[in-house]
Structure formats: C-alpha cells, structure tokens
Structure 1
Amino acid sequence: MAQNIMLYWTSGSPPCWRVMIALEEKLLQGYKQKHLSFEKNEHKCEEVKALNPRGQVPTFKHGDIVVNESFAACLYLESTFKSQGTRLIPDDPAEQALVYQRIFETENLQQKLSYVAFYEWYVPEGERLESALKRNKENLITELKLWEGYLEKMGKGSYLAGKNFTMADVVCFPVIAYLPYLHCPKERCPRLMEYYEMVKDRPSIKASWPPHWLEKPEGQDTLKNL
C-alpha cells in the first residue's frame, strides 16, 4: 500500500516533517521518497514541478492523486487510512473542533517564528530595520504566551488538543521543535518545552527526525534573545 505513495521532501522543513509524521502514524512506512537539497534548489527540478507547479515541498502523490499542501496531505492521509494506525481526528464534535482549531492556528505560530528566526534570510541586508525585528519578536512572544495558556489550561501531560495525540500534534510539533533547536530560552515557554520533551521521543517523530539535525543537533542561536 505504501509503495503507491511518493514524497518529495527537504530536511528540517516543518511542512515536510509533518507529512512524514502522519505517514508514520498511519503505519505507511516503506513509501517511496526523494530527499532534495533546498540549498541546491533541487525542489525546483522538473520532476517536482511536473506534479507541483509551484516547485515546493512537500510534493505528495498517492497513486494518481497529487496533494501538495502539507495540511491537506495530512488530512488526506487520515481520511484515506482512517482505520489504520493512530486515529488522528476524533469523532466527538467538540474534540474534533479543537483539533481543527489548533491545526490551523499552527500557521500563525509558524509564520511569527519564521519572521524572527529567519529574519536575515527573508530581508536583504540593506532593508533590515531593528524596529521591524523588535516588532516581530513582540508578536512571537505574544503568540507563545497564547500556546502556553492552552497547555496550562489543559493540564500537565496534555497534548495540544487534549489527552490524546492528534493531528494537531502532527502538524504543530515540527514548528515547536524549532524553539529549542534555535536556542529559545526555556523560561520564555516552559509549558511548550515540557510538551516538546514529552513528544520528541514518540516513534513517529524519531523515525522522521530531520537528518541534518541528527548530524548537528543545535542550529543557529537566532532565538536566544527572545
């Protein structure tokens, strides 16, 4: 079954990583894959663009079905393989609503984190402003406080949408993992760090851990002054 699946991905990309976690959780090991170099611009190759005109990763194909956006690919996997592996979307309407809420809130966290962590990559040297970086940091701090509050309200040992590991964790963990990787102070987000420590050794996450993080466990210190 997994042999009908093809995934093009790059190491350390949260969108790619979440699809890989979903594949592991749905017991779809052994799928076909191609690890591309972002630095070498390999994601813009014709092989990828034939399936994904944007030339982006993840590019995901199951049989003749192509799903390229990472949230969509994860939800597709849960829908298609609902009875297999971990149940990632609960049936209870209230629980389901919270999972969907956290899934799509992840985009806010990822964007605000990226604007700080990769500011120098996004903005050319001559256009960088200290005031803009300060504002970006304030926005990220506000966002982190929001997620801290979510975990505080649910209690110690909770996942992002309750007591069970769900699609919310699949899509958001790769973003949260960047906090310790880029040296965010633990005191800035203690509950998120507790969550990170609880989840990081889950088999699906260990199996899909970014290869270059294994070689170099610590990234740049772009979040150290948050």
Structure 2
Amino acid sequence: MSNDLVLYTHPMSRGRVARWLLEEIGQPYRAELLEYGTTMKGADYLAINPMGKVPALRHGDTIVTESAAICAYLADAFPQAGLAPAPTSPARGAYYRWLFFAAAPMENAMVTRNFGLNTTGDQQRMAGWGSYDLAVDTLEKAVAGREFLAGDRFSAADLYVAGLLGWGLSTGGLPPRQAFQDFAGRHASRPAAVRARELDDKLLAA
C-alpha cells in the first residue's frame, strides 16, 4: 500500500485538529484545500466523503472521515509517534473514553446548545450527552489538575480534547473555566500545534 498521506481540509473546520495530529506524527503529507459549497460538494470529493464535509484523510488506498476517527487511525498507523497507549495498557480505556466523549457527547451538547436547543426531562435520558451542564461538568472533572487524560504521556485524546476546548473557549461554546483554559493552553503550545496553526492561518490570510 502506498504510504501517501492526503488531508482534505479547510482552515475553518475540524480539519485543524487533523492537521495538528499529522504534524505530531512527523510524516510527510499533502493538504488539499476544499471550499464550502463548491469543491466540497463536487463529484470528485463526494466520491471520497459522500457527506461533503471535511476533514477526510487518504492514506494510500484507505479513506478515513470524521476528525476523531482520523486521529485514532493515525495514532495507530504510526505507533512510533507514541500518540496512543498500547492496546494492552490500562490507559487504553481512558484514551478511548475521552477521545470519543469529546467527539460525540461533548460536541453534540455544544452544538445543540448553540442552536438554542436544551434537553429537558425525558430528552436528557435519550440524548447521549444528557444535558449541556452535565457534559461540561464531566469534561471539567476529566481535565482539572491533569496534564494527560490517559497514562503519563501526551496522546491523541489530549490533542482532540485540547482542540475542542480551544474551539469552545474561543467561540463561547464553553464557559471560561480555569481547568479548560489550563488544559487547552498547555497543549496548544506544543511545537506541532504551533506549526499546524501557522499553516492554517496562512490559508485564511491568502
């Protein structure tokens, strides 16, 4: 299989998180910029992701969509980067837990609240996130006073959660709690995170 890595992205998208992960693994990759409403909905890209959304990743003949799935895939595909606990490690459970908590319950809670929707009564039992306040409090407990979410080293779970926190704090989707600011700020200062931001910011400025 070809090891060519191609990231389909836009600088105003979740593609920023996928690019950060690619910068962390240190493998050569190509970023293909797509535009909302045009190339993102064109036939060529819809053959890659029928949702017409970014990011998507091509690794040789393998296609991966959904930003958390891209992070998990790359962490396993390039184990030398050390971005995932070993499958037999006790930390693997926490790694999966917080990576996918951020990608599903937490993000859903933030987006629905942004749409002006708040779960009540039976809706909270049906919704995977319960309520916005419950999801926020759960995330705060996860990151408060901790450097890493899974084991004793940085992982794709830390990257994904830090990216979500940065987005939520900058847009008002999350309250400016100190635990959120500390966790996001600490990991956003990593060299790979800085490189990824600079690359996407250049695209915005172009």
Residues 94 and 65 of structure 1: CA distance in aligned 2, closer, same or farther (over 3 Å): same
Equivalence for 1:220: none
Measured after TM superposition, the shift of residue 9 of structure 1 is: 0.6
Q: Distance in 2 between matches of 1:175 and 1:43?
A: 23
Asked if structure 2 preserves the Cα contact closer than 8 Å seen for 1:48 and 1:59, the reply is no
Distance 1:193 1:170, change over 3 A: same
TM alignment of 1:103-114, pairs within 5 A: 103-106=99-102, 107-114=104-111
- 1:214–1:167: structure 2 CA closer, same or farther, 3 Å change rule? same
**1:3 touches 1:32 (CA, 8 Å); kept in 2?**
no
* Structure 1 match to 2:65: 68
Residue 140, structure 1, aligned to residue 132, structure 2: yes
Q: CA deviation at 1:31?
A: 1.3
**Number of the residue aligned with 1:4:** 4
Distance 1:165 1:142 in 2: 26
Compute the TM-score of the two structures, normalised by the length of structure 1: 0.73
Match of 2:35 in 1: 37
Which residue in the other structure is 1:171 paired with? 160
Structure 1 residue identity aligned to 2:90: A
Q: CA deviation at 1:63?
A: 1.6
> 1:1-226 maps to which residues of 2 (within 5 A)?
4-14=4-14, 16-28=15-27, 30-38=28-36, 40-83=37-80, 85=81, 87-91=82-86, 93-106=89-102, 107-117=104-114, 119=115, 132-133=117-118, 139-152=131-144, 156-183=145-172, 184-186=174-176, 189-209=177-197, 210-211=200-201
Distance 2:178 2:5 in 1: 38
Q: 1:160 to 1:13 in 2, by over 3 A?
A: farther
**How far did 1:112 drift?**
0.8
Q: 1:127-159: per-residue Cα shift (whole Å, max 9, x none)?
A: xxx6x35869x922221111111223xxx3512
Matched residues in 2 for 1:146 and 1:33: separation?
34
1: CA distance, partners of 2:202 / 2:39: 16
Cα–Cα, structure 1 residues 134 and 71, in superposed 2: closer, same or farther, change >3 Å?
closer
The percent of aligned pairs where both chains have the same amino acid is 21
TM-score (norm 2): 0.80
Q: Which ranges of structure 2 fall in alignment gaps of 5 or more residues?
A: 125-129
The RMSD of aligned alpha carbons is: 2.8
Deviation string 1:163-190 (CA, Å, 9 cap, x unpaired) is: 321111122222111222114542xx22
CA distance in 2 between counterparts of 1:173 and 1:214 reads 21
**Does the C-alpha gap of structure 1 residues 200 and 6 become closer, same or farther in structure 2, counting only changes over 3 Å?**
same
Alignment: residue pair count: 192
Structure-2 separation of matches of 1:174 and 1:213: 19
One-letter code aligned to 2:152: K
2:118/2:132 contact within 8 Å kept:
no
